[in-house]
Amino acid sequence: MGVRQGMVRILISFAISFLVLSPARALAGQKKNPLDDPARIGDRNLVPDGVDLYGYPRAFEIGRQIAEEIEDLSTPYNDPETRAYVVRLTNRIARHSDVRIPVRVRLLSSREVDAFGLPGGYLFLTTGLILQTRTEAELAGVIAHEVAHIAARDATRKMTEERIWDWASLPVLMFVGPEAFTLEEGLAGPLALTAFSRSAERRADSLGLQYLYETGYDPEGFIDFFERARKLEKGHRGVIAKAFATHPLTRDRVAAAEREIERDLPSRLDCVVTTSDYQRMRNRLEQYVRDEMPLVPARPENPGPPKKARAKHLRQDDLP
């Protein structure tokens, strides 16, 4: 990148920051930031005026088109019992969030560990991610994080920044000429909408913890899954989706989440860790993986009588 091109990008980035981010900074400058107050859930504006140029009808249509494309290129996981469970869990979290549109759940059959939200309230989860959770609180934490992205309309906010970049590029051409830079046409692809900025990820961490807590779950479930995903990211990069590599699951993010739990979420004894419904769903999904997604071909010979299965006991709390 030449000097002139670099200067142009700096000028345009400054203009975008002024037009798009100034309201958020003004909000953060208040004595008590509503985004840090779980008591304000459902009664606060996560998208200051001018930050998102896309209304809900247009966002829904964009999300629907992208969701159809993803499902055409992937293998949906259509088990009705598993889907019904995840939809119930997601709706319960959404009722204790700032989201103002229905959340539409889609499950993909994939070993990849991934979850992402699209414009219009579409939420995708892979079977690989669900199987990496160990409790319902962990799964709820992942869903709460993605619901936070939907509530903050991060996908259409990113599209707005792309549009403002294009608009800002036009007058610059008059001063520096078209050779100064190459105008980017659109996004790199559908999932580019889910590669959010570091600040957007931190905000989703914070809001997701609040939603998790207000729904009745132990917020430490978010931390537990985060730590396990960090280990996978370091040791088995082929398992972790590219979305995690875009904004790494750093120790700083975990520490920030721990500080927020300590500062804003009072401890209580009735937090839900897991449920029998979660365990039944997970057992059903494990059986599906054994039957439909074997890691190695089954042995033709008889290996002998099966060993007795050891019973697994998990702590279970009934939802309030």
80-107, pLDDT tens digit by residue?
999 999 999 999 999 999 999 999 999 9
CA gap 245, 241 in Å, rounded: 7
pLDDT band at 121 (very low <50, low <70, confident <90, very high): very high
How much is the mean pLDDT over the chain? Answer: 75
pLDDT value at 254 more than 80: yes
Cβ neighbours, 10 Å, residue 155: 27
State mean pLDDT over 285-311. 58
Provide the b/e sequence for 272-293 (b: ≥16 CB within 10 Å).
bbbbebbbebbeebeebeeeee
State mean pLDDT over 25-35. 57
Report DSSP letters for 252-265, one per residue.
HHHHHHHHHHHHHS
What are the pLDDT digits (tens) for 125-184? 999 999 999 999 999 999 999 999 999 888 888 787 766 545 444 444 344 443 333 333
Identify the top-confidence range among 48-62, 171-185, 240-254, 300-314: 48-62
pTM of the model as a whole? 0.73
Please, which contacts does 85-89 make with residues 24 or more away whose CB atoms are closer than 8 Å?
85/277, 85/278, 85/281, 86/125, 86/130, 86/143, 86/281, 89/136, 89/139, 89/140, 89/143
